[in-house]
Structure 1
């Protein structure tokens, strides 16, 4: 037998209502008993003593009942948190420490108290076209943004394996986000005059950065309004400085999507990906967090450890803000642990966009080959 939403809502509200009754009834009885015992005329000293004893007994009984109610509420809260934590882990999966020759580490901070997942998203998958990475930031944070996060991540996990180029992956993400917006529009009440609400007005958008690290360690990227990552090696520097595309949902994607050719990720180098909450974090005086400086310090001592970089930047962020996080943040580090590819095992660049490709001949000197005509 199917349960209606009204039945589920009534059952969900019943424990809370019964809890109020359990608290109010003993409290009201205790108040009445104490008022009666202390205000009625006293016959003798022993009678006054018995009244005090009666008040203490009633007080202990009420305290016991209130403790039972509190313990039950705490148990239900633990169960709800366990279910929420399991759902969050399904949505933002824990990344493996190593994937296809890359060392990984990630951490997410939610601005919503009690939540591990907010409006930020990330995922790393190994595909036939190379390791593909997505990181994004949904407008807003907390529970209202989780629907968009689920739509984008679900689409990426399929498209990353199905699409030969990053442009195809990005178009799939855009279509998934548009479907999510249309579903939101259908859930909104009709506007004045009976018109359908317009949730596709550009107010709901998501910034997305797509990366592809091919078998030749060449990095390709498509950026829709997201902060560019940093390359960590001898210091910290932006991976690219090109003008990004508009965020998904703000404007239609252009007809031609050409990925940026960001050069090779050399052995031992790492990429630091983040959402804008890290750069926009402020202290009590309104000063922005110096992310590049913190990255340079975290990457100063070899060997460069992704887990150590994430841990140090996270600690520096908390020190800078005094623990007051006002926006969701996602931090992700990928280090290239692949051995250099020699002439005998040269691997062609994977599809993902035109441009230069870099093939390692030795551990010391890379040779760059321009693509042939056509």
Structure 2
């Protein structure tokens, strides 16, 4: 926490220094041109560079007041040198003043247009962020005895969500979770993400088996492809529009079952009584089904039993964008190792585990992602019940001492 505050304070200080530098730069430019002309006179030819001061103010701040201030500084800097020299009948310095005024006018109009565009961009981002947050809504911190944490990193700049999806829902059959990765990334994959998440949120409460949920998701994905093609059949490239998908169910007794369609298997994080310590291991090693959309689902969809999730244990779900991320040297991100490090440093807290893996991932790839990344942690954290006295133990009764005579008047 202290390191985070220190990083936040350092970044805020750097931002203040940059803003101050941008404001001072036009004046520094004018001062540099004037000093150079005084030290090495060039018969006014160098003074033509003063016309750049308003343009620098416009590019740096985009404020009309700064543009006007830069133009005034440039014009005032001409006064010590005179406007027209006797040996200069055409008045090059007067032409320089005209150039300064022209640049001031053009920069003033450009700054106004830039301000309007920035306001429109801010409003568009607010609408897009609100829409994407509704699509990939934040998970609750706790569901039916499970503590949750999730995060998403989009490869598209300025986007909150992309081609990855996740959702967790408490049902009468247990807590069910889905995580998936639509082919491609960014805003182009939002249609498939919306169709799959909408279908999952509807059918997860009605289907008693994960196989039924998966078939409904396949049907929703096929409908979305047909609607996007504008007809009753999918487009020619529909065979390439696939989704890797993982369905996980945690029953009330901790039993874990899963259905995997081409998705990376999650990791089990130890810490329970049977397996003490923060060990990290793949949840299963069964060969998954093909990704959803490449081939029709087979008639039999047997779920994979993954044992029980003991109290204190957790599941770490992720998309392949985390395991496939590379650094500048082309090295893959060591997900299992970094997950073990994050678990040891976070003492198993889901939110801190996700934050640790996210920080390590961004550090590994230098903040430049080539694919979307989704991270989800589900920890079996049942509520602690106070110890009850043994059966037959009499319940103590509070006895009120008798009041002394004369205590009331």
User: TM-score band, normalised by the shorter chain?
Assistant: 0.7 to 0.9
Contact residue 181 and residue 199 of structure 1 kept, 8 A? no
2:265 matched to 1:228? yes
State the distance in 1 between where 2:333 and 2:97 align: 62
- 333 and 50 in structure 1: CA distance in 2 versus 1, 3 angstrom threshold: same
Equivalent position of 1:318 in the other structure? 362
- In the superposition, the TM-score normalised over structure 2's length comes to 0.68
> 1:142: which partner in 2?
186
The 1:185–1:48 alpha-carbon spacing in structure 2 relative to 1, beyond 3 Å, is closer
Q: Which has the higher strand share?
A: 1
Counterpart CA distance in 1 for 2:258 and 2:134 is 26
Task: Quote the Cα distance in structure 2 between the aligned partners of 1:49 and 1:317.
Answer: 58
- Alignment correspondent of 2:105: 61
Considering Cα pairs closer than 8 Å and 6+ residues apart, tell me whether 1 or 2 has the greater RCO.
Answer: 1
Match of 1:285 among 304, 329, 334: 329
Deviations along 1:309-356, whole A, 9 cap, x unmatched? 111111111111111211111011111111599xxxxxxxxxxxxxxx
1:31-56 deviation line (CA, Å, top 9, x unaligned) = xxxxxxxxxxx997696655443332
CA distance in 2 between counterparts of 1:47 and 1:285 reads 59
**Is 1:112 matched up with 2:156?**
yes
What value does the CA root-mean-square deviation take over the aligned residues?
Answer: 2.3
Match of 1:207 in 2: 244
Q: Deviations over 1:108-147 (max 9, x none)?
A: 1111111121110000111111111000000011121111
Match of 1:216 among 237, 253, 258: 253
CA distance in 1, matches of 2:235, 2:197: 26
Map of 1:71 onto structure 2:
115
Residue 260 of structure 1 aligns with which residue? 304
197 and 328 in structure 1: CA distance in 2 versus 1, 3 angstrom threshold: closer
Q: How many angstroms apart in 2 are the aligned matches of 1:75 and 1:143?
A: 22
TM-score under structure 1 length normalisation: 0.74
How far apart in 2 are the matches of 1:176 and 1:304?
36
Give the equivalent residue in structure 1 for 2:33. Answer: none
Is contact 2:226–2:234 with CA below 8 Å preserved after alignment? no
Query: C-alpha separation between the residues in 2 aligned to 1:94 and 1:310?
Result: 14
Aligned to 1:198: 236
Q: Give the corresponding residue for 1:90.
A: 134
| Contact kept in structure 2, 1:267 and 1:340, CA below 8 Å | no
**Secondary structure at 1:106 match in 2:** strand
Task: From 293, 299, 305, give the equivalent of 2:349.
Answer: 305
Over 3 Å counting, the alpha-carbon distance change for 1:326 and 1:196 in structure 2 is closer
1:166 equivalent in alignment to 2:210? yes
Structure 2 unaligned segments of length 5 or more: list them.
1-85, 271-277, 386-409
8 Å Cα contact 2:226/2:235 also seen in 1 = no
SS at match of 2:129: helix
Aligned residues: 293
